[in-house]
Structure 1
């Protein structure tokens, strides 16, 4: 069965093709081309921002109950089409189908349902009289148009994390998925266009240096939301300073693990095998450094080496895979370069893996 792809940009309430050069969307398992997707032009960005501004007045005045109902409807639609979303995410990101279907889609659905509840349960400070003859109060107002820029490691989940609280709070959004992983965002755009009023969410694929840069500097944007690296975050802050945009930045993280001498080594190994390598380690909370006490060090290294060497990947039957390939050739080569630099150090030993897998995709054996 041939998989169908949504390729239209959502601007206002209509879908249209991108007007600029095509970006190659690849299958990380094979390195083969899935499709060429034309990115948005500056004119299309302008029209998407204008549509979001036009929608803001009405959407920001809806009641929490109305916005909650919309979020619940989106959740129900994703859940009803879970297999299609999972298959598309697995294709575009190389994720094992069990991880996409069993781990991520339920969490995405739950995200929309969580914020559907949260928007109806907002708390605020009690009003009081702090000056004779005057009563103080707090009023919650939506910010305005939010430019949301998502990364490639969890495309649909990041979209949910960004959209649900933003539109739940009465804001409108221009959303830019990663140019490497736009397919589930464009599929979800079809649902958003049916559930939400025109212009509340607009979806524009494209590169960061073109579409993203133009979007974050746009005077019609009131807030910038980014999940990405520190260098990009600095550019966001520079752009935000020009027009005093609000910012929400989730940048690169590190997750060191400290193992004390009285730790249960078997439990530690089980946790590290799962949370250090999930999503091929492409996770800002991946357990990436381990500091172990002297008494447990040797056993931990031996047991963790054995555990990691048993991680299943690259199997033809995708239901047996535990992790997938890296997202791109560039990323695979970058990871390989880290390992090669480590090999050159006299005090470092590579105890398992550390090699490119020659199966045509972007696999790297941990």
Structure 2
């Protein structure tokens, strides 16, 4: 771990880190003890005043150095992420590393243009100004599906704004966070970034409950979000929550079917469907439904799954045996419904690792579990709708509110639907596209707070009024 600028071994319970493609142990690490969590928060608290006092340009310089180091060691980072998560090496190297580097560089620039919203004389003889200042120590808890990218999304705006950070990565995927910590120990002042390893109920809970942690940022599931809120309420902490999704994909009858199938094949199954924005809940118009099911089934059946460095591999295994079992149970319960057809996939893959076949479920109804709950695996469902109003109503009939997409050749129809969808992001005639200049975050039970963009930088600051009497 990294505590107060020094790499140190944990003193707590041993954790086994697996390669999901083989089920073999990569290494064993010890989680942080309660004393080490205390030491990490204390280090961040000590470092805060000095880090916050730096000019935005100075903080930007540190972020740019981190970006350069990640880029220079991109191959090593990608290989480590690929092995620990099971994702294809090409995806980690070509898709994720460039986006991560860009995140650091974006916030290096954004730090220098964050400004107050107003200044002037609003009371005779007095001049007011608005400052946006950092909060203090931010406790960040990152998930296992995109470990290094989620680290970047969390620490870049926090550090750029002048906060210090204590990060706990998932106990299943800590390896790229550890590699980053080694770089941070060389680049950043001691205590500005601290890394503690461990399980959620022990180390994570200790970070969330600590009175000197002023804000908690979590990406995880709804149940974990509720626990964080309950704990944070005791010390009135700010919280920044991204709690999953069940992205609806509305396909109107006039949509470009080839583009729809190509899009869902890519964006419904990327990272083996272990993505909260995955295009997994498809609503198809009555005229396009049958052809969409047929062509999507054929396309998904051609997805190549396998180990990380196999030639042409597109998706890897699920993260764990437990996660694969969860996905399989969803499909089996759906298969037991008389109106549902599993048109391709739907089986656990024999052999080593935690592989599950890419799966299409047709004939799903709005009330079915497979439509309502997040599966978080390589499974998409297709539901037929009768009228546009029904599609919009069904899309909004969900506790989730993170991402959605609309597909139509009629831009007026698509824009009308997009304006009425209760989701933090709606794509039109595409899905899954993210850029650091635009915010990512949800509504409803998917949480609140934005990752990426100036909105994230604002989330990690507080607006303050300063008034001068003449």
Q: TM-score range by the shorter chain?
A: over 0.9
Alignment gaps of 5+ in structure 2: 359-470
Q: Which residue of the other structure, out of 256, 280, 301, is the alignment partner of 2:272?
A: 280
Contact map agreement 2:218 2:225 (CA 8 A) in 1: yes
Q: Distance in 2 between matches of 1:224 and 1:120?
A: 24
Post-superposition offset of 1:317 = 4.6
Residue-by-residue CA offset, 1:243-295 (whole Å, 9 max, x unaligned): 11111111111210011111111110000000000000000000111111111
Q: Distance in 1 between matches of 2:232 and 2:13?
A: 27
Q: Distance in 1 between matches of 2:278 and 2:248?
A: 9
Q: Distance in 1 between matches of 2:16 and 2:249?
A: 38
Q: Distance in 2 between matches of 1:316 and 1:87?
A: 9
Post-superposition offset of 1:299 = 0.4
Compute the TM-score of the two structures, normalised by the length of structure 2: 0.75
Q: Distance in 2 between matches of 1:37 and 1:74?
A: 25
Q: Distance in 2 between matches of 1:260 and 1:140?
A: 44
Q: Distance in 2 between matches of 1:171 and 1:257?
A: 38
Q: Which residue of the other structure, out of 275, 282, 304, is the alignment partner of 1:312?
A: 304
Change (3 A) 1:54 1:319: farther
Does 2:92 match 1:100?
yes
Q: Which residue of the other structure, out of 63, 66, 79, is the alignment partner of 1:74?
A: 66
Does 2:192 match 1:191?
no
In the alignment, which residue of structure 1 is the partner of 2:356?
Answer: 364
Q: Which residue of the other structure, out of 53, 56, 68, is the alignment partner of 1:64?
A: 56
Alignment gaps of 5+ in structure 1: 1-8
Q: What aligned pairs does 1:137-152 form with structure 2 within 5 A after superposition?
A: 137-152=129-144
Q: Distance in 1 between matches of 2:7 and 2:111?
A: 29
Q: Comparing both structures, which one devotes a greater share of its residues to strand?
A: 2
Change (3 A) 1:316 1:177: closer
Does 2:207 match 1:206?
no
Contact map agreement 1:226 1:249 (CA 8 A) in 2: yes
Change (3 A) 1:207 1:316: closer
Post-superposition offset of 1:140 = 1.8
Structure 1 window deviating more from structure 2 (77-86 vs 308-317): it is 308-317
Q: What aligned pairs does 1:290-329 form with structure 2 within 5 A after superposition?
A: 290-314=282-306, 317-329=309-321
Compute the TM-score of the two structures, normalised by the length of structure 1: 0.97
Contact map agreement 1:98 1:319 (CA 8 A) in 2: no
In the alignment, which residue of structure 1 is the partner of 2:23?
Answer: 31
In the alignment, which residue of structure 1 is the partner of 2:331?
Answer: 339
Residue-by-residue CA offset, 1:22-59 (whole Å, 9 max, x unaligned): 11100000011111110000000000000000000100
Q: Comparing both structures, which one devotes a greater share of its residues to helix?
A: 1
Classify the secondary structure of the residue corresponding to 1:256.
strand
Q: Distance in 1 between matches of 2:243 and 2:54?
A: 32
Q: What aligned pairs does 1:110-125 form with structure 2 within 5 A after superposition?
A: 110-125=102-117
Q: Distance in 1 between matches of 2:190 and 2:239?
A: 25
